[in-house]
C-alpha cells in the first residue's frame, strides 16, 4: 500500500508531475520502438485508447474537472460506478496490447535493440531490482486487477465519501509511477511522431518549416489539437453515458493543459476558441450528470460543435505557416463561420415562413411540415446554438407536437417564433 513518506495525493496537485521525468528517457525510447514495431499489425488504435483511458483516470480524480453538482455532493457512488467500467476497459485494452505472444516478441525485440535501463529499478523495492520488462508488464496487469476488484466492491456500497474516492486515485497513480514502462507511456509529454496522428498534408507542411523553433511549436500545437480531436471520436450517442461522461472530463483537462502550452503564448484567437470549447464541455457535463433524458443527444450535439472548433484551431495554426492552405483539402466537411451562419439563418427563415402560413391559414395542414423543419434544424444546427436556448427549444417543440387544441397550438407556435427571433439576433451579433 501507499506509504506517507513516498507519495502524497497526486490528484490534489496541479501542474507538472512531481516525479522526475528524465530518468525514464530510455524506457520511453523503448516504448516508441514498440509502437513502430506494432504499427503494421494495426495495433495503434489500441495504444491510443489505452493511453487515453489511463490518462483519463487522472483527470477523473481532479474535482476541478467535474461540475459543481459533483463537487458539492458528499456521496461519490455515481463516479465509482463510472470508474468501474473504465478500469475494466483499461485492463481489457492492456491485455489486448500485451498478449503473451506479443510480449515475447517485444522482449526479444527490445533485447536485440537496447540495454534495459536499471536507473529506476535500482531505486525500487529490493525484490524488483532484477525484474525484466515482462515482470513489469505482468505486474501492472495484476495491479489493474487489484484496482478493478476494489472499485467493484466499493460500487456495491450505498455511500462513498471523498476520502475513499481520492484514495483509489492515489493508489492507481502510485501503481503507474512505480512502473518504469507504464509511467513514460501515460505521462503528458510522451512523444508520438506527428505523421502517425495527423493528415499527411499537414505533416508535410510542418516538416517543410525552415525555422526550427517555429517547426517545433507548430508541430506540438497541431499534434495536441489532433489528439484531442481523435479522442472526441470515441464520444457521442453510440457509446454509453458513462464513457461519454468520463471522456468529456478527460477532454476538459486536456484542453485546459493545451491552453497553457508555452507554444500558445501569443495565440489569443486560439486560446479564445479553446475557452469556448471548455465552456461547452463544462455546460454539457453540468447539464447531464443527473439528467437521464436526452443526455446522449447532448453529448452528440456538443461533439459536433467541439469538432468544428478544433478544426478551426488547426486551420489557424496551419495558416500561420502556409497562407495557401485550404481547409477543405484537410477537412472536406468543414464550413467556414460565415457560410455556416448563413445556412442556419436560411433554415430559421424557412421555419418562420411556415409559421406565418400556418397562423394565417389552416394550422393543422401546416403542423406536420413545421415539425419536419424543426426536427431538421434540431439535428443539423442546434449544436451550434447557445445552450441557453436548448431547454425552451425542446419544451416548445414537444408542446407544438402534442398540443390537442387549435388555440393552444397557435399560442405555442407564436412562442416558438419569438424564440427563433432571439436565436437569429444572437447569431447575427456573434
Residues 258, 220: contact at Cβ < 8 Å?
Answer: no
Burial (CB count <10 Å: 0-12, 13-18, 19+), residue 166? middle
Contacts of 157 (CB under 8 A, 6+ apart): 77
Query: How many whole angstroms separate alpha carbon 24 and alpha carbon 30?
Result: 10
Give me 92's grid cell: 481489457
pLDDT in tens, the chain (430 residues): 333 333 334 444 334 444 444 566 777 777 777 766 765 566 777 878 888 888 888 888 887 777 765 555 667 888 888 899 899 988 888 888 777 555 556 555 555 555 544 444 444 555 666 777 777 888 888 888 888 888 888 888 888 887 788 888 888 888 887 888 787 777 655 555 544 555 666 777 777 888 888 888 888 888 888 889 888 988 887 888 888 889 999 999 899 989 988 888 778 889 989 998 998 888 777 666 655 556 667 777 788 888 888 988 988 888 888 887 777 767 766 656 666 677 788 888 888 888 888 777 777 777 888 888 888 887 677 766 776 787 788 888 888 888 877 788 888 888 888 888 888 888 777 6
Q: Are the C-beta atoms of residues 181 and 97 closer than 8 Å to each other?
A: no
Residue 124 and residue 136 in contact, taking contact as beta carbons nearer than 8 Å: no
Closest-CA residue to 168 (of 58, 23, 251, 319): 58
- pTM for the complete prediction? 0.72
Buried b or exposed e, range 81-100, using 16+ CB within 10 angstroms: ebbbebbebbbebbeebbee
Q: In angstroms, rounded to a whole number, what is the distance separating the alpha carbons of residues 280 and 386?
A: 9
Whole-number pLDDT of residue 372: 85
In angstroms, what CA-CA distances link 5 with 164, 169, 170? Answer: 19, 17, 13
3 state DSSP class of 276: helix
Amino acid at each position: 500500500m501507499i506509504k506517507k513518506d513516498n507519495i502524497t495525493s497526486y490528484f490534489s496537485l496541479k501542474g507538472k508531475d512531481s516525479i522526475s521525468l528524465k530518468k525514464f528517457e530510455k524506457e520511453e525510447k523503448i516504448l516508441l520502438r514498440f509502437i513502430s514495431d506494432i504499427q503494421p499489425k494495426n495495433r495503434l488504435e489500441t495504444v491510443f485508447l489505452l493511453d487515453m483511458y489511463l490518462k483519463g483516470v487522472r483527470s477523473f480524480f481532479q474535482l476541478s474537472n467535474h461540475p459543481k453538482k459533483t463537487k458539492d455532493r458528499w456521496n461519490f457512488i455515481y463516479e465509482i460506478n463510472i470508474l468501474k467500467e473504465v478500469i475494466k476497459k483499461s485492463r481489457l485494452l492492456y491485455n489486448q496490447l500485451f498478449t503473451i505472444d506479443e510480449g515475447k516478441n517485444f522482449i526479444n525485440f527490445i533485447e536485440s535493440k537496447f540495454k534495459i535501463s536499471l536507473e529506476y529499478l535500482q531505486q525500487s523495492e529490493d525484490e524488483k531490482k532484477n525484474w525484466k520488462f515482462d515482470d513489469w508488464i505482468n505486474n501492472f496487469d495484476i495491479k489493474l486487477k487489484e484496482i478493478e476488484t476494489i472499485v467493484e466492491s466499493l460500487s456495491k456500497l450505498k455511500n462513498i465519501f471523498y476520502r475513499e474516492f481520492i484514495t483509489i486515485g492515489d493508489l492507481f497513480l502510485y501503481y503507474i509511477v512505480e512502473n518504469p514502462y507504464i509511467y513514460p507511456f501515460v505521462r503528458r509529454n510522451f512523444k508520438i511522431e506527428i505523421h502517425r496522428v495527423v493528415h499527411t498534408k499537414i505533416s508535410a507542411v510542418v516538416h517543410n518549416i525552415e525555422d526550427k523553433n517555429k517547426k517545433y511549436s507548430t508541430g506540438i500545437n497541431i499534434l495536441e489539437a489532433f489528439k484531442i480531436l481523435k479522442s472526441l471520436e470515441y464520444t457521442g450517442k453510440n457509446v454509453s453515458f458513462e464513457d461519454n461522461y468520463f471522456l468529456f472530463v478527460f477532454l476538459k483537462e486536456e484542453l485546459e493543459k493545451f491552453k497553457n502550452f508555452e507554444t500558445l503564448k501569443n495565440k489569443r484567437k486560439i486560446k479564445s476558441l479553446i475557452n469556448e470549447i471548455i465552456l461547452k464541455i463544462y455546460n454539457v457535463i453540468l447539464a447531464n450528470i443527473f439528467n437521464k433524458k436526452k443526455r446522449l443527444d447532448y453529448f452528440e450535439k456538443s461533439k459536433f460543435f467541439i469538432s468544428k472548433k478544433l478544426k478551426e484551431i488547426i486551420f489557424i495554426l496551419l495558416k500561420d505557416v502556409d497562407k495557401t492552405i485550404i481547409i477543405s483539402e484537410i477537412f472536406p466537411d468543414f464550413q467556414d463561420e460565415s457560410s455556416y451562419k448563413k445556412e442556419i439563418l436560411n433554415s430559421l427563415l424557412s421555419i418562420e415562413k411556415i409559421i406565418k402560413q400556418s397562423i394565417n391559414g389552416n394550422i393543422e395542414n401546416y403542423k406536420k411540415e413545421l415539425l419536419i423543419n424543426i426536427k431538421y434544424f434540431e439535428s443539423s444546427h442546434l449544436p451550434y446554438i447557445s445552450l441557453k436556448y436548448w431547454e425552451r427549444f425542446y419544451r416548445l417543440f414537444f408542446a407544438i407536437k402534442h398540443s390537442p387544441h387549435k388555440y393552444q397550438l397557435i399560442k405555442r407556435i407564436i412562442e416558438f417564433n419569438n424564440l427563433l427571433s432571439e436565436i437569429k439576433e444572437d447569431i447575427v451579433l456573434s
